[in-house]
């Protein structure tokens, strides 16, 4: 009798989880129709407070709780999938399919509730008081030239290794410890707040082969950073993941936030890294838009900056391969599934925001 009751109760709970996931899926698709209400009642209020508290709690532990949880979730899903496959031969396939669906539903409900609705909040463009305006290749060239000048100026204060290449001050742990100083002086109110520090990923070295430089874990409120990445963009990467922690969901917007926050950081390695993030993105955009202007830009750029960029490119060549391709496809699917229709290409779309900031505000 009790076993029958428990079975019915479990089925009812599972069905409720699946129904909740379907309702939230619909809600998440239509939430973007009123981003102002979502911003007021979720992103800048309930969710901001929740993530702030959650990240400070998980921040009490020296390791990334999110990284451990990630492997637990992957292992659980693999176990359920294997059981589902064997269910074809054992005759209880419907039950095992149901159990797998319930697990996925619970994970989805937690994701959307904890953080996922931020994909529909107002854009960082609106937060910064910018308008969506297109600019010509000539205007892109001028802005990129100015970015190169800013990077050259900031580079005068950074530490260099024996070969004259940029290196961060201290080690990766030092970068993580100092990152929050930028957000203390964030140029928009939505990015301010009291959050837990970023966390280094334990498997940072192997993760280089996936091309992944950081992961925000919404279930724990942790900004996880691959500390094995090249020094050039390590500080900017930490700021990028911390932007996700503050509810900036889209990659191009998180990159823009990292760049702008770096401008007010008291430490030169952060200011230079942020400037280089924007510069490299703008250079890539200019190369696609006008090869002649790109060639003109390269001729005018300081050699030490070009050496830093070349060294950065050489660093990543070692990790190119099939694993990176698979990881990129998974990431591309995830981004498109959350409304980022350009997929991984949106990582370079921060240039639009950089240009709008430059020409509409008159400065970076």
Q: What is the mean pLDDT of each run of 10 residues along the chain (364 residues)?
A: 60 92 93 94 97 97 95 96 91 92 97 97 97 91 97 97 96 96 94 96 93 95 97 98 98 96 97 97 92 95 96 90 43 45 49 95 92
Q: Where are the alpha helices (DSSP H) in the chain?
A: 2-30, 35-38, 46-58, 65-90, 93-114, 124-127, 137-155, 172-184, 204-207, 234-245, 251-263, 268-289, 291-300, 303-317, 322-337, 350-361
d(CA 172, CA 149): 26
Pair (303, 329) in one structural domain: yes
**8 A C-beta contact, residue 116 and residue 28:** yes
Contacts (Cβ under 8 Å, ≥6 apart) of 289: 137, 140
The pLDDT score that the predictor gives to residue 347 is: 35
Q: Same domain, yes or no, for 218 and 342?
A: yes
Residue count of the chain, please give it: 364
Asked if residue 163 and residue 115 are part of one domain, the reply reads: no
Distance between CA 214 and CA 229 in Å, rounded? 10
Residue 84's CB: how many other CB atoms inside 10 A?
Answer: 18
The pLDDT value given to residue 327? 37
Give the Cβ contact number of residue 291 at 10 Å.
Answer: 10
Q: What is the DSSP letter of 342?
A: T
Q: What is the pLDDT of residue 340?
A: 44
User: Does residue 183 share a domain with residue 93?
Assistant: no
Q: Which of 22, 48, 192 is nearest to 114 (CA)?
A: 48
pLDDT score recorded for residue 3: 56
87 and 216 share a domain? no
pLDDT at 346: 33
- Using an 8 Å Cβ cutoff, are 245 and 216 in contact? yes
96 with 146, same domain: the answer is no
- Of 70, 90, 120, which residue sits at a domain end? 120
Range of the domain at 95: 2-120
101 and 218, same domain (yes or no): no
d(CA 83, CA 351): 47
pLDDT of residue 8: 67
Tokens of 319: 């990790």
Q: Look at residue 7 in the predicted model and tell me its pLDDT.
A: 63
Residue 4 confidence (pLDDT): 55
Cα–Cα distance, 191 to 158 (Å, whole number): 26
Number of domains observed in the structure of the chain: 2
DSSP labels, 154-173: HHTTSEE-TTS-EE-SS-HH
> Which run of H or of E encompasses 223?
strand 222-225
Whether the Cβ atoms of residue 212 and residue 186 lie closer than 8 Å to each other: no
Please indicate, yes or no, whether residues 163 and 295 belong to a single structural domain of this protein.
yes
Same domain, 102 and 152: no
Res 90: pLDDT: 85
Based on the domain organization, do 244 and 326 belong to the same domain? Answer: yes
Residues 76, 80: Cα–Cα separation, whole Å: 6
What sign does the dihedral 42-44-49-51 (CA atoms) show?
positive
Q: What are the CA-CA distances from residue 256 to residues 43, 306, 337 (Å)?
A: 19, 22, 22
In this structure, the answer to whether residues 172 and 315 fall within a common structural domain is yes
Q: Is 170 left (phi over 0), alpha (psi -120 to 50) or beta?
A: left
- Residue 200: helix, strand or coil by DSSP? strand
User: Closest Cα to residue 309, out of 87, 115, 152?
Assistant: 152
What is the structure's pLDDT at 11?
85
Q: Are 278 and 252 in contact (CB under 8 A)?
A: no
Q: Which residue, of 85, 120, 155, is where some domain finishes?
A: 120
Q: 237 and 94, same structural domain?
A: no
Tokens representing residue 27 in the block: 């809600």
Q: What angle do CA 183, 253, 128 make, to 5 degrees?
A: 65
Q: Which of 103, 120, 137 is the last residue of a domain?
A: 120
Which residue in this structure is represented by tokens 């390590």?
234
**Closest by alpha carbon to 256, among 332, 190, 314, 325?**
190
């Amino acid at each position: 009798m009790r076993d029958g009751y428990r079975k019915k109760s479990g089925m009812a709970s599972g069905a409720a989880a699946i129904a909740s996931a379907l309702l939230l899926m619909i809600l998440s698709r239509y939430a973007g129709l009123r981003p102002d209400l979502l911003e007021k009642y979720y992103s800048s209020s309930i969710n901001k407070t929740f993530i702030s508290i959650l990240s400070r709690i998980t921040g009490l532990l020296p390791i990334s709780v999110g990284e451990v949880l990630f492997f637990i979730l992957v292992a659980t899903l693999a176990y359920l999938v294997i059981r589902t496959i064997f269910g074809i031969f054992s005759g209880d396939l419907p039950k095992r399919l149901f159990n797998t669906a319930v697990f996925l539903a619970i994970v989805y409900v937690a994701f959307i509730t904890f953080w996922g609705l931020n994909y529909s909040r107002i854009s960082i463009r609106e937060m910064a008081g910018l308008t969506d305006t297109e600019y010509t290749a000539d205007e892109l060239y001028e802005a990129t030239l100015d970015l190169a000048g800013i990077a050259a100026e900031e580079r005068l204060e950074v530490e260099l290794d024996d070969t004259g290449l940029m290196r961060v001050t201290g080690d990766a742990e030092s970068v993580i410890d100092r990152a929050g100083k930028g957000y203390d002086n964030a140029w928009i109110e939505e990015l301010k707040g009291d959050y837990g520090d970023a966390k280094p990923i334990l498997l940072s070295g192997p993760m280089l082969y996936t091309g992944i430089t950081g992961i925000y874990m919404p279930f724990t409120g942790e900004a996880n950073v691959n500390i094995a990445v090249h020094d050039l963009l390590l500080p900017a990467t930490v700021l990028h993941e911390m932007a996700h922690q503050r509810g900036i969901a889209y990659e191009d917007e998180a990159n823009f936030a990292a760049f702008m926050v770096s401008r007010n950081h008291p430490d030169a390695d952060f200011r230079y890294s942020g400037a280089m993030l924007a510069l490299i993105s703008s250079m890539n955009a200019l190369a696609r838009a006008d090869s002649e202007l790109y060639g003109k830009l390269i001729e005018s750029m300081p050699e030490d900056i070009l050496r830093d960029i070349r060294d950065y490119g050489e660093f990543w060549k070692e990790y190119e391969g099939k694993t990176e391709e698979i990881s990129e496809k998974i990431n591309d699917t995830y981004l498109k599934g959350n409304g980022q229709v350009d997929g991984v290409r949106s990582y370079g779309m921060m240039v639009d925001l950089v240009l709008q900031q430059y020409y509409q505000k008159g400065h970076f």
